[in-house]
Amino acid sequence: MHPPSVDALARSINDIDLPQPLLVDAARLAIASGDPESARQHAERLHRSLLGPTINATGVLLHTNLGRAQFGYSQSPRATNLEFDLMTGKRGSRSEHAGKLIAKLIGAEAAIVVNNCAAAVTLVLAALATDKGVAVSRGELVEIGGGFRVPEIISQSGARLIEVGTTNRTRLQDYVSAKESHDAALLLKVHPANYRITGFTEETSVQQLTTIDLPLVVDLGSGLLDEACSWLRDGKPSWLKEEPGAKQTLQAGADLVMFSCDKLLGGPQAGIIAGRSDLIAACSRHPLMRAFRAGGLILSALQETAIAYLRRDGDAIPFWKMVQAPLDELKDRAKALEVGTVLATNAVAGGGALPGAKIPSFGVMLEGDHAAYLRAQNPPIIARVNENTTIIDMRTISKEDDSLVSQALQKCI
């Protein structure tokens, strides 16, 4: 018996929302495997491998595998004034939009936007410390997601790492010695956003480090703009109490700060470098800036996020809207699902930020592991499984998705 033609088999599965060339690929795979009936399965697998929306029911607000900060943004299909000065009619700078707003929010002289925080650190070191020594505490030589390590970033930037202090204790004199004995030209302080050292510890504060006559740059990582959290109805939450703000770090005397935009900032994936205008200018002039600079869509989305902060409208930023959801409301929404056992849970920030910080929440628990079934829904629902129980945490679910979650859970049981 002859196998069906590729074209005929592809046409038989054209109800799947894929362009014809991809349906043809699925048909060819099925025929090559000797099982033409598997064409639909191949096409559905391909469809689910594409980037698309999911419902985050994990209780991890900044889930790295789910895109970290949730945010909504759209732009009309028109040209923009990305690098065009509307006042003079001449070429402008892409740093004059979102970067200027971020600088205003944190009291910086200037700010620029790059691809992510790792790019920000690399660019700063390359622009300010190529072939020079950079002093970093041994307790801050961290590894971030994906295996990127601070010593490797320093090496790739062309700078020379000077390790100071010990893993658990680093004093001001350690940095002074690095300047005097090892010719350090820059001090780098790295906020250990994804771990904590407790017990017999000591670290040198930003304010103490400003007594050394060297540029001080601080990698804040998670990107809390201002410790006052004036955009929130009830002010700074207790679980954020030890998180440093970019504004306060600059006020304490840091020359530059770097941080991510898709964590506590609640915006698109990008990185910020902010602080002294002369150092920002040096970074802007460096050849790596062209490789690391953010594109127009990212800058426009970040500008929209910054404007929400300036309006003190935390609910306009999905991350902070989730943070502000009252416990009673989450409990009522969990009950309204009408399935499973309603229980108090603890959400977490995620995204390599605030390790150990717990955010009170509510959800529902179902006996058994239903993760695969929930992932197969449209849109997929990503739940948390613990000791053969499935937990749906309401804090990370948008209200608009409650009915979809309820329907999936009803079918699930």
Write the pLDDT tens digit of every residue in 198-222.
767 788 999 999 999 999 999 998 8
Phi, psi of 394 (to 5 degrees): -75, -20
Average pLDDT of the residues in 109-119: 96
Q: How far apart are the two ends of the chain, measured CA to CA in Å? A: 43
3-state helix, strand, coil in the chain (%, to 5): 40, 20, 40
| Rounded Cα gap, residues 159 and 126, in angstroms | 7
Residue 193 has pLDDT above 70, yes or no: no
This model's pTM is above 0.75: yes
| pLDDT digit string, tens, across residues 287-322 | 999 999 999 999 999 999 999 999 999 999 999 999
> Would you give the DSSP letter of residue 149?
B
C-alpha to C-alpha distances, 86 to 76, 94, 290, 364, nearest whole angstrom: 19, 13, 23, 53
Residue 263 has pLDDT above 90, yes or no: yes
Is 176 exposed, middle or buried (CB count within 10 Å of its CB: 0-12, 13-18, 19+)?
middle
How far apart CA 292 and CA 116 sit, in angstroms, is 8
Question: Residue 147 has what pLDDT?
Answer: 66
Q: Identify any residues that bridge with 260 across adjacent strands, giving them in sequence order.
A: 271
pLDDT range class, residue 194, cuts 50, 70, 90: low
**34-38, 100-104, 144-148: the lowest-pLDDT one:** 144-148
What would the mean pLDDT of 103-132 be, rounded to a whole number? 96
pLDDT tens for 50-81 read 999 999 999 999 999 999 999 888 888 999 99
CA 37 to chain centre: 41
- C-alpha closest to that of 294 among 260, 257, 246: 260
Kindly compute the dihedral angle of the four CA atoms of residues 316, 319, 321, 324, in this order, to the nearest 10 degrees.
-140
